[in-house]
């Protein structure tokens, strides 16, 4: 599930970085599908939803809050973008959003990989 979350975050960041290039080379594609508000909200909400579930479950197990703080920062970034609604800055917010959620997953993965709670103590002989 975490790999899917990281993939969605990276896909979101690539989508936002590639849009200026696609705008030059494929305006018909952009107008019809790739740069619609549906695609943007689908990527954002699926990424937020998956991140919220995975990071909260891991928080309950490991009690490490930083991934949830980064998720909240990503949600705040999206809220600021929505509120100011400046089209020329959408790509900046998109990159920040993708990187922040990706960072939350990475920090969470680091916590999980160093956690000793998975290790079952062996009985002493």
Total domains in the fold of the chain: 1
| pLDDT at residue 69, rounded to an integer | 93
- For residue 66, what are the domain limits? 2-114
| pLDDT at residue 27, rounded to an integer | 60
| Residue 54 belongs to some domain of the structure | yes
| pLDDT at residue 53, rounded to an integer | 92
| pLDDT at residue 36, rounded to an integer | 72
Q: Which residues does 93 contact at the CB level (< 8 Å), separation at least 6?
A: 16, 77, 78, 80, 81
Among residues 52, 57, 54, 56, the alpha carbon closest in space to that of 78 is found at 52
| pLDDT at residue 26, rounded to an integer | 62
Rounded to a whole number of angstroms, the CA Rg of the chain reads 18
> How much is the pTM?
0.65
Q: How far apart are the C-alpha atoms of 92 and 67, rounded to whole Å?
A: 21
| Residue 120 belongs to some domain of the structure | no
| pLDDT at residue 73, rounded to an integer | 94
SS3 115: coil
Q: CA 68 → CA 20, 45, 57, 88, 112, distances in Å? A: 31, 16, 11, 29, 14
Q: How many CB atoms lie within 10 A of CB 65?
A: 11
| Residue 63 belongs to some domain of the structure | yes
| Residue 31 belongs to some domain of the structure | yes
Among residues 9, 112, 11, 8, the alpha carbon closest in space to that of 55 is found at 112
Q: How far apart are the C-alpha atoms of 23 and 31, rounded to whole Å?
A: 9
Q: What does the pLDDT profile of the chain (125 residues) look like in tens digits?
A: 788 888 888 887 888 777 777 666 666 665 666 667 787 788 888 888 988 998 999 898 888 899 999 999 999 998 998 899 887 888 888 889 889 988 998 999 888 877 776 555 555 55
């Amino acid at each position: 599930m975490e790999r899917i979350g990281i993939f969605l975050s990276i896909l979101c960041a690539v989508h936002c970085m590639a849009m200026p290039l696609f705008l030059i080379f494929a305006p018909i594609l952009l107008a019809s599908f790739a740069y619609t508000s549906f695609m943007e909200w689908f990527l954002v909400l699926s990424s937020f939803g998956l991140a919220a579930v995975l990071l909260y479950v891991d928080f309950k197990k490991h009690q490490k809050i930083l991934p949830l703080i980064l998720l909240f920062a990503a949600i705040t970034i999206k809220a600021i973008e929505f509120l100011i609604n400046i089209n020329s800055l959408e790509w900046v917010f998109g990159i920040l959003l993708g990187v922040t959620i990706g960072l939350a997953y990475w920090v969470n993965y680091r916590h999980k990989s160093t956690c000793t709670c998975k290790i079952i103590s062996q009985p002493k002989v």
